[in-house]
Chains A and B, each alone.
Chain A
Amino acid sequence: MNMINLLLFPIIIPFFFAMILMFFKEQVVIQRVLTLIGLALSLVASCWLVATVKTEGIQTVTLGSWPAPFGISMVSDMFSALLVTTTILITFFVVLYSFSSIGIERERFFYYPAILFMITGINGAFTTGDIFNMFVFFEVLLIASYLLIVLGGEKRQLRESIKYILVNVISSAIFVIAVAYLYSVVGTLNMADISVKIAEINQPGIISVIAILFLIVFGIKGAIFPLYFWLPGSYAAPPIPVLALFGALLTKVGVYAITRTYTLFFVHDIGFTHQFLLVLSILTIIAGCIGALAYFDLKQIIIYNIIIAVGVILFGVAQMNTAGLEGAVYYLIHDMLIKGALFVLIGIIIYVTGTSNLREMGGLIKTHGTLGWTYLIAAFGLAGIPPLSGFIGKVLIAKGAFEADHAFSSVIVLASSLIVLLSVIRIFIYAFWGPQQHVLPARDQRVYRQMMLPAVMLVLITAAYGVGAEWLMPYMKDAADVLADPSIYINAVLKE
């Protein structure tokens, strides 16, 4: 059977299961089972989608059988198909981790439906080919994330959720304004059609202004340099599984949106827009590095590493050549996987020691060997030690930067790897080496093993992602080709 709606399955299946879960508010076991089934089905669908995109090229469907620029187009190229698959994969393991860590009280209050609604929004934002529809999917994922950040009602969560909601409501309003400006200039909302129309008028000044406006909007969502102020506080408030989902997925949607708009729409005045992006990404990396070294708090160190990674990916995008874009795609997926793994791992460290302060830890390697070595592999993977996954992305990004004559700034990017390594190894040294500082609180070994299972599997996947780079490279190349040449995307959508 020819499945023309295949690319919608990774969006529809989580959505469907989310609403089914609303009927079983109190039955936690049913919720857990249904969530896992839903995510497993979505994973199968998204892997199938990746295979289809690989063999048959970009998949598009325009909803309601309308012709392309008039209906809402959903477009799945290799870039979005890979991101959708990664999203579902991470969510699957984080949900497994939630079983033993989130607590029955939260599970009984729409925790799993909120996660599935958030996945719906994220996958939709990755897949949509319509700029206003992207706004709608942003709101779907944001509103679900508002629930997740406040769920539990601790004092700190309430305080930080007010900040988080305020910042996101403002950025959503700017998003609407930016779309309104863009619509009044080009008169269309379909992303492929916008790209054609901008090419026809050859990007006058107003379009560059809109480009910067979009950078501000997605920069707030994705936490780039002057707009990341809300992230460290807000992300530290919710419990670890929620933090893992946010850290691995939410900022990456903003990064995806910047990548998409800056490779599809605003490609005619690269000297201005992409130079601006380049400078901001370097500043983002520096700001993240300062934060990652400044704290002795496990959560804050990894949270600032999110900001560094956002800078590195956008630095790759700003090069606008194949090597840089390929590196950005590779690094983006690496970073989603490794951040998911690291947050789950520090969650286990916090569970074992009962604190998130590095100074109060020590000597864990004697009692929790597996945890220590798993963490070390994840830390090396994050920093980009060769056989592991962070390496190739950064090498390609640096290669792209040297090709584009940005030698000096790429030295900063490479130097940031050392600081990343230093910040995560500091956790390893403080928490796992040295003498045991105080008596560990008594913990259930069974719960600990249940928590370790998803963590070890995520770290294994990131290791395989690094070791199997040769095998994955054709996929990354397909993704980068579409980004480097907008006409491939446009022809796929507006084929008639």
Chain B
Amino acid sequence: MKTNDVILQTATKVVFFIIFLFSIHIFFVGHYAPGGGFVGGLLTTGAIVLLLLAFDLKTIQQILPFNFTIVTAIGLVLALSTAGASIFFNVPFFTHAYDDFNLPLFGKTSLHTAMFFDSGVYLVVVGSAITIIQSIGGDD
């Protein structure tokens, strides 16, 4: 008998976006409130895992056609190049830069290169967690 999980799938379609937005929120508030790249990455992973539970592995690989090993590698490159950019300015490794900018939509905003490092962490967390889940789950 084929199980019918229409309620689960419909709920997932809504809840996925709520979790995903929350993870982005957690990622961006990291500098001033609890949160940051690691938790944000894990929450995004959680959202994708919910998709995996409601649908099957193949569908998810079609929706998100990334090679998550490469995502991890991109995250590492991003993190290292943020830290390593300081080499070219001849200041100690990992020295960050920050300033206030007048952005068209947000007004006066303080931007910090630590954000790029955090995006690297975010990508590494998402990439490695999904790689683990896919390789365990996909092993028939």
Contact = CB atoms under 8 A, between A and B. Distances in A.
5 contacts: A3-B90, A4-B90, A15-B80, A22-B69, A22-B72
B39 interface: no
A46 to B, nearest CB: 16
A19 B92 contact: no
Contact of A19 (B77, B90, B91): B77
Interface in B58-82: 69-70, 72-73, 76-77, 80
Interface of B: 69-70, 72-73, 76-77, 80, 84, 86-87, 90-96
Interface residues of A, number: 21
Contacts of B92: 4-5, 61-65, 71
A63 B90 contact: no
Contacts of B95: 63-65
Contacts of B76: 19, 22
Interface in A44-78: 61-65, 71, 74
A279 to B, nearest CB: 41
Tell me whether chain B's interface is mostly helix, strand or loop, or mixed: helix
A8 B93 contact: yes
Nearest to A11: B93
A16 interface: yes
A65 B72 CA distance: 28
Nearest to A12: B84
The 10 A-B residue pairs with the shortest CB-CB distance in the complex, in nearest-first order: A22-B73, A63-B94, A19-B76, A65-B95, A64-B94, A61-B92, A5-B87, A65-B92, A5-B93, A19-B73
Contacts of B86: 5
A146 to B, nearest CB: 14
A5 B95 CA distance: 11
Nearest to B77: A19
Given A20-B77, A63-B94, A64-B95, 19 more contacts: A1-B90, A4-B92, A5-B86, A5-B90, A15-B80, A16-B80, A19-B73, A19-B77, A19-B80, A22-B69, A22-B70, A61-B92, A62-B92, A63-B92, A63-B93, A64-B92, A64-B93, A64-B96, A65-B91
A184 interface: no
Contacts of A2: 90
Contacts of A20: 73, 77
Nearest to A23: B73
Contacts of A163: none
